[in-house]
């Protein structure tokens, strides 16, 4: 899967499943402060990511994920590891 | 202690209105002497199988309309009886944000709608809730679907991380009070009362006691009941449900000679109670005053009701109210349409009210058995009757049996002035609750 397609899919899932306003979606957006994704939403993201990308996110790997760009990078690296 | 200890005999009954007023004044004088508050109903909301708001429900009550259907899914699943009350699921997307919806099971959705109506009915907005210590006490005693679904996911995926964030908040018995307290930002008392099919009634009773004692000013009380096969399958296994599947609307027939079991049902009912002083200060419309709460436990069989336990609950409620049994104009019976339950309740009512014989009906003839919700919804049904001067019929009552014939049963919608009513609710384990509400 191409990186652009991964990003497009993540954005669509955030809008459809987490119900984030499309206008708020920006790579620089802080997941918690700007998008309002709290610890419970992260629990749901675990399920959403596994169901849509087929791998399990690990909580300990998420500690450095702050912005949406960080989240894109994390997913892209799990799908297309260097 | 015998019944006679509590019930004045006919010779002692006072019929003079002046004397009655004096007794009421004395009753309220003693309440004020001990710094107790009067407790009034200032808001009601309902989402039921006979109507999705107060106006629809009142119309159904007046016309004796049944909310019972045949659910083919239950038959496919192996139910002995596919009869159930049914109401459509509220659509809350776009109404509540995702975080508020994710943890809300179906009975919580019903309760959200009924509570919205009750708050509007009471003239209370969010700014009032933000500025005052308003509590919530809801009756609820199951949340089967989220339990089943979350365990199904675990069994399939073998990973708890695949369950997601919502099921824990949906699956606890306290789900309704926990969710609504967050949605409405409530700051007062906050818990759920689980007392089987008397849950809603006990929730109101406990709320009444807290306000009466000055420990709370306003509490959102109520009861909620999920409608789905998962929550009633094990109940169906007890052979307790009516199997009159060819005539769904005639299946629930409390006190009728040919009754053959209850019909499960559900929805949600919200009753806002507050101190009389608070209601006066707000200029709120008062729909009734809670004046008595009686409770008891049978101390016998887990599912078989008895006569003595309900008698004690009703007598306690009458004593708490400081009235005579003859002042009860109407009884909304618990009667669920089971052979033993209706018979025993009829005997209980006859023991306590045999000399005054108030009008009696079971609204479960129309709604089916709303279980955890019933104690709250039936207070609303009866309060609607009291405020609109009629008694709703006990539909499908064609032939009473020898015991139920002792009661003054209402089979047709009847214009009637109710000044005070008693509402009975009983449940598994022998829990009994009786509430008395009077006109203000």
pLDDT confidence tier of residue B262, bands split at 50, 70 and 90: very high
pLDDT band at A59 (very low <50, low <70, confident <90, very high): confident
Range B378-386 average pLDDT = 99
Helix (H) or strand (E) holding B273: strand B267-275
Q: What angle in degrees, to the nearest 10, is found between the helix axes of A39-53 and A3-16? A: 130
Least confident segment among B6-10, B33-37, B103-107, B240-244: B6-10
User: Are B164 and A19 within 8 A, CB to CB?
Assistant: no
Catalytic residue list contains B221: no
Q: What is the mean pLDDT of residues A64-73?
A: 97
**CA nearest to B163 within chain A:** A47
Distance in angstroms (rounded) separating the CA atoms of residues A81 and B353: 80
The whole-angstrom separation of Cα B14 and Cα B24 is: 12
Task: Decide: B116 and B52 in contact? Cβ < 8 Å.
Answer: no
Q: Are A18 and A41 in contact (CB under 8 A)?
A: yes
Structure tokens at B388: 């609109």
Provide the sign of the torsion angle of the four alpha carbons B190, B285, B51, B349, taken in this order: positive
A29 contacts A35 by C-beta, under 8 angstroms: yes
pLDDT beyond 90 at B10: no
Q: Give φ, ψ of B289 to 5 degrees.
A: -120, 130
Calculate how close chain B gets to A20, using CA atoms only, in Å: 9
Closest to B332 measured CA to CA, from B258, B287, B292, B385: B385
Judge: B166–A50 Cβ closer than 8 Å, yes or no.
Answer: no
Cβ within 8 Å, pair A56-B163: no
Ramachandran class of B261: left when φ > 0, alpha when ψ lies in -120 to 50, beta otherwise: left
Predicted confidence at residue B35, as pLDDT, reads 72
| Chain A residues touching residue B161 (CB < 8 angstroms) | 43, 46-47, 50, 56
Question: Does A60 reach chain B within 8 Å, measured CB to CB?
Answer: no
A33: CB partners within 8 A, 6+ apart: none
Give per-residue pLDDT as tens, B53-88.
999 999 999 999 999 999 999 999 999 999 999 999
- Residue indicated by tokens 């699956």: B171
Q: Could you tell me if the ipTM is greater than 0.90?
A: yes
Instruction: Please judge whether A56 and B159 are an interchain contact, meaning their C-beta atoms are less than 8 angstroms apart.
Output: yes
Q: Please give the mean pLDDT across all residues of chain B.
A: 94
Q: Angle at CA B81, nearest 5°, toward B346 and B398?
A: 40
* B166 contacts A44? CB cut-off 8 A: yes
CA distance B374 to B404: 21
Question: Which of A24, A39, A43, A57 best tests the B interface by mutation, with the highest count of B CBs <10 A?
Answer: A43
Active site residue B301: no
- Which pLDDT tens digit goes with each residue over B402-426? 999 999 999 999 999 999 999 999 9
The DSSP bridge partners found for residue B433 are B295, B425
A47 vs B164: CB contact, 8 Å cut-off?
Answer: yes
In whole angstroms, how far apart are CA B356 and each of B44, B317, B437?
30, 17, 18
Structure tokens at B278: 């608070």
Partner B contacted by A53 (CB < 8 A)? no
**Residues B71 and B229 sit within 8 Å (Cβ to Cβ):** yes
Residues in A closer than 8 angstroms to B165, CB to CB, are 40-41, 43-44
Stretch (H or E) spanning B117: helix B106-122
Active-site position among B27, B63, B197, B202:
B197
pTM score above 0.90:
yes
Domain boundaries, chain B: 3-34+291-438, 40-272
CATH number of B40-272: 3.40.47.10
The dihedral of CA B221, B222, B226, B232: what is its sign?
positive
- Interchain CB distance below 8 Å, B99 and A47: no
CATH homologous superfamily for the domain A3-79 = ACP-like (1.10.1200.10)
Other CB atoms within a 10 A radius of the CB of residue A35 amount to 20
Residue of B nearest to A14 (CA): B98
pLDDT digits (tens, 9 = 90+) for B304-346: 999 999 999 999 999 999 999 999 999 999 999 999 999 999 9
Q: How far is B149 from chain A (nearest CA, A)?
A: 15
A43 touches chain B (CB under 8 A): yes
Q: Which tokens is B290 given?
A: 């809670």
Mean pLDDT of B198-225: 98
**What is the spatial distance between Cα B205 and Cα B211, in angstroms, rounded to a whole number?**
10
For chain A, first and last CA: distance in Å? 14
- Which of A19, A43, A56 is closest, CB to CB, to B165? A43
Q: Do A47 and B97 touch (CB under 8 A)?
A: no
Which positions in chain A touch B162 (Cβ < 8 Å)?
46-47, 50
Using the predicted structure, report yes or no on whether residue A6 has a pLDDT greater than 90: yes
Q: Does residue B336 contact residue B198 with C-beta atoms inside 8 Å?
A: no
Residues of chain B numbered 134-163 and touching chain A (CB < 8 Å): 159, 161-163
Asked if the domains at B3-34+291-438 and B40-272 fall in one CATH topology, the answer is yes
pLDDT of residue B29: 62
CATH H-level superfamily of B3-34+291-438 = Thiolase/Chalcone synthase (3.40.47.10)
Higher-confidence position of B29 and B320: B320
For chain A, the domains span: 3-79
The pLDDT tens digits for B162-176 are 999 999 999 999 999
Distance CA B48, CA B54 (A): 9
Identify the burial level of A34 via C-beta atoms within 10 angstroms of its C-beta, where 0-12 means exposed, 13-18 middle and 19 or more buried. Answer: middle
Q: What number of helices (H) and strands (E) belong to chain B?
A: 16, 15
* The pLDDT of residue A58: 87
From first CA to last CA, the distance across chain B in angstroms is 32
- For residues B95-109, give the mean pLDDT: 98
Calculate the alpha carbon distances from A77 to A48, A63, A67, A72, B258 in Å.
Answer: 17, 15, 15, 8, 70
């Amino acid at each position: 899967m191409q990186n652009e397609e991964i990003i497009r899919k993540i954005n669509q899932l955030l809008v459809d499943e987490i119900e984030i306003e499309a206008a708020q979606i920006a790579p620089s957006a802080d997941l918690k402060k700007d998008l309002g994704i709290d610890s419970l939403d992260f629990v749901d993201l675990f399920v959403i990511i596994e169901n849509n990308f087929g791998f399990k996110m690990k909580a300990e790997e998420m500690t450095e994920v702050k912005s949406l760009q960080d989240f894109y990078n994390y997913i892209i690296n799990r799908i297309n590891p260097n | 202690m015998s019944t006679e200890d509590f019930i004045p005999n006919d010779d002692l009954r006072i019929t003079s209105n002046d004397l009655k007023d004096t007794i009421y004044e004395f009753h309220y004088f003693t309440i004020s002497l001990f710094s107790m508050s009067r407790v009034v109903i200032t808001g009601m909301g309902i989402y039921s199988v006979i109507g999705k708001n107060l106006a629809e429900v009142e119309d159904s009550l007046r016309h004796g309309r049944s909310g019972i259907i045949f659910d083919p899914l239950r038959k496919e699943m192996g139910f002995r009886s596919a009869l159930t009350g049914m109401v459509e699921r509220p659509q809350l997307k776009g109404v509540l944000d995702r975080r508020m919806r994710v943890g809300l099971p179906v009975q919580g959705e019903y309760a959200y709608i009924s509570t919205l109506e009750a708050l509007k009915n009471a003239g209370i907005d969010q700014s009032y809730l933000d500025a005052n210590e308003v509590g919530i006490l809801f009756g609820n005693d199951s949340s089967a679907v989220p339990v089943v679904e979350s365990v199904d996911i675990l069994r399939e995926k073998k990973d708890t991380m695949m369950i997601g964030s919502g099921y824990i908040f949906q699956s606890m018995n306290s789900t309704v009070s926990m969710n609504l307290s967050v949605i409405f930002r409530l700051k007062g008392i906050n818990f759920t009362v689980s007392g089987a099919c008397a849950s809603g009634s006990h929730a109101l009773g406990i709320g009444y006691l807290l306000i009466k004692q000055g420990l709370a000013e306003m509490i959102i009380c109520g009861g909620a009941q999920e409608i789905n096969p998962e929550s009633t399958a094990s109940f169906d296994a007890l052979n307790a449900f009516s199997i009159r599947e060819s005539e769904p609307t005639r299946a629930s027939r409390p006190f009728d000679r040919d009754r053959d079991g209850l019909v499960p049902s559900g929805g949600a009912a919200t009753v806002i109670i507050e101190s009389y002083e608070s209601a006066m200060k707000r200029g709120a419309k008062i729909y009734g005053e809670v004046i008595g709460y009686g409770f008891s436990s049978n101390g016998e069989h887990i599912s078989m009701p008895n006569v003595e336990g309900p008698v004690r609950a009703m007598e306690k409620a009458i004593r708490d109210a400081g009235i005579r049994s003859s002042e009860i104009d109407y009884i909304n019976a618990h009667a669920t349409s089971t052979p033993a339950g209706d018979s025993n309740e009829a005997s209980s009512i006859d023991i306590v009210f045999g000399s005054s014989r108030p009008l009696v009906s079971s609204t479960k003839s129309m709604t089916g058995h709303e279980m955890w919700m019933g104690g709250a919804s039936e207070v609303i049904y009866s309060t609607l009757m009291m405020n609109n001067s009629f008694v709703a019929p006990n539909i499908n009552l064609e032939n009473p049996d020898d015991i139920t014939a002792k009661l003054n049963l209402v089979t047709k919608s009847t214009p009637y002035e109710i000044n005070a009513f008693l509402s009975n609710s009983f449940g598994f384990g022998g829990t009994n609750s009786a509430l008395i509400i009077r006109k203000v």
